Amino acid sequence: MRRLLLAALAPALLIPFVLGVWSLATGRAPRTLWSRPLVAPLPASEPTIDLPIASAASRARGYYQLHVDPRVGYVLRPSLQFTMVGAPVTSDDLGLRMRTGARPAAAARTFAVVGDSVAFGQGVADGECLAQQVEELLAAARGDRAAPSWIGRTIAMPAWNWRNSTCLLLDHWDRLAPSVVLFVPIDNDLSDSEGVAERGRRRLVPDLMSDDPWLSISINRVQDRLIPLAARVAAGEIAVGDREVGPIALNADLGGESTRRYDAMADGLVAWAAELERRGARVAVAPLVDSSFTAILMERLLARRPDLATIPLLRKTEKRDLLADDPHPNAATVAKLARWVARSLVDELHWIDAAAPLPAPDPAFDARRAPRRAREEWALLADEARAAAAAALRERIEPAQGDGVNQVLGGLSPSGWMGPRLLAALPRRAGAIEVALRPIAGRADLLPLRVTVAIDGVETGALLLPAGSAAVVSARFALPPARDDDRASRIVEVKLVADRSAAVAEPEGYDFVSCVVERIAVAAD
């Protein structure tokens, strides 16, 4: 009997040994065995400047400049030539990407591609971006290549949100006045507007259009936090996988700030489309890829505007569709997408006439095109996306270990410091919310520090970090009674508000910080 018992227990006794060897070999903890290892996004590629005036002073000025409209944020420096992700880019006098086609006919009409870096064509040359390739396809089909009767304009900029791009088009309507507008939504559209540093590099700054400008919310900052974490995983310092960092709460639409931003975007785009139509333009939405963000946004747009025209593109992107060192479509993919857009404009929407057929279909690539869906289909996909995000929520956010960091919507720097404000999402559970903070080493000027805690928008208490102390301060806060409009929410939003902050050096410049977040977690009563 003893031998039989030992034989039965031997495999179980080997499991801790095997897991320990696996952990030493991979640098990952056994708890991450069933989750994908953390994959950090590629860092943003910085353009190389090639200026017509080759002075050192001009080069030092950089490649972006502030726009006079704070809702737009920034544009390119006018009349600039530079290289972005290995591709040449030229700006016009408005600070937009230069059109490269032949001189248009006297009465030429314009179609505009509006959006962010995807619509801009990051990583492809001026003549390879979507607007330019659609223009050339239409010119060939209309037989007017020498003097195009339809020209394409790119109203897009890397890291713009939906408000930046739509406001710029209206600001310069007297110059642009497109007859057809294609809006390309992408998942950084819910982010705050970025600003520009003195040397012409983008940076996160207080957004004047935000309800709380000191709470900087950006999906780029969420992704920036993964880069140092991935480096620490590779070095064996911590063990965290994609599951442990949690879902990106900013785009999850589980209530609170995320839901408010989706609603604001849908309302804003519908109002914008109505204004463009009043001015004589036709408007279509062209999502690059089927995604959780696309489903949630399209459900809202079609609920508000059932007749909104859509031009679906890819079901999903594959490695072969993208640049070698940047997650944007490569020139070959953009050329194929341009065929879909041109065919939709001519053969499906009938917004543009053509005398000759467009290029023959590519059956292999065309099979990857997303279908045109009704609002009910988008609603089902959106429900699935929200359910998946809710199921993936972590009950603990510990930035130093990477746990739940994607659930911080804003206010956490890549170095793990809290800004003047911080907003985080946790799963709704019975119990209390635990918050643990500590002072920043060497910053006695920030003490004493009072950090107010608000849960679901209700101020519930505060933590005091006393002067002369470096200790962690923690407290538990009871959940306030659920309000009627919160009953459907699957998250609890925790907002921390510091009564003072200071500027410190970060890898991309300076940032305002107040303290270090040790932990924000759901705690049992």
Predicted local distance difference test score (pLDDT) of residue 111: 97
Predicted local distance difference test score (pLDDT) of residue 18: 40
Domains and CATH numbers, the chain: 48-203+258-382 (3.40.50.1110), 393-523 (2.60.120.260)
From first to last of the 525 residues of the chain, give the pLDDT tens digit.
555 544 554 444 444 444 444 344 444 444 444 455 665 554 444 444 444 433 444 455 678 999 999 999 999 999 999 998 889 999 999 999 999 989 999 999 999 999 999 999 999 999 999 999 999 999 999 999 789 999 999 999 999 999 999 999 999 999 999 999 999 999 999 999 988 876 666 776 778 778 888 899 999 888 888 988 988 998 889 889 999 999 999 999 999 999 999 999 999 999 999 999 999 999 999 999 999 999 999 999 999 999 999 999 999 999 999 999 889 999 999 999 999 999 999 999 999 999 999 998 899 999 999 999 999 999 999 999 999 999 999 999 999 999 999 999 999 988 889 999 999 999 998 889 999 999 999 999 999 999 999 999 999 999 999 999 999 999 999 987 766 655 567 899 999 999 999 988 766 567 889 999 999 999 987
Angstrom distance (rounded) from CA 392 to CA 389: 5
Q: Residues 6 or more apart from 501 whose CB is under 8 A from it?
A: 419, 420, 446, 512, 513, 514
| Helix H or strand E segment including 375 | helix 375-392
User: Among candidates 521, 235, 228, 523, which has minimal Cα distance to 403?
Assistant: 521
Predicted local distance difference test score (pLDDT) of residue 485: 59
**Strand (E) positions, 31-149?**
48-49, 64-66, 74-76, 81-84, 87-90, 109-115
CA distances from residue 419 to 367, 413, 492 in whole angstroms, order as listed: 47, 7, 20
Angstrom distance (rounded) from CA 154 to CA 151: 10
Q: Residues 6 or more apart from 473 whose CB is under 8 A from it?
A: 436, 437, 438, 463, 464, 465
C-beta atoms surrounding 179 within 10 Å: 17
Angstrom distance (rounded) from CA 500 to CA 474: 19
C-beta atoms surrounding 260 within 10 Å: 13
CB 308 within 8 A of CB 278: no
- Amino acid sitting at position 398: E
Angstrom distance (rounded) from CA 504 to CA 275: 43
Burial class (CB in 10 A: 0-12, 13-18, 19+), 235: exposed
Buried b (16+ CB within 10 A) or exposed e, 411-445: bbbbbbbbbbbbbbbbbbeeebbbbbbbbbeebee
User: Among candidates 310, 309, 305, which has minimal Cα distance to 270?
Assistant: 305
Burial class (CB in 10 A: 0-12, 13-18, 19+), 143: exposed
Predicted local distance difference test score (pLDDT) of residue 30: 47
User: Among candidates 38, 405, 62, 492, which has minimal Cα distance to 221?
Assistant: 405
Angstrom distance (rounded) from CA 373 to CA 287: 12
The tally of CA atoms less than 13 A away on the side-chain side of residue 263 is 8
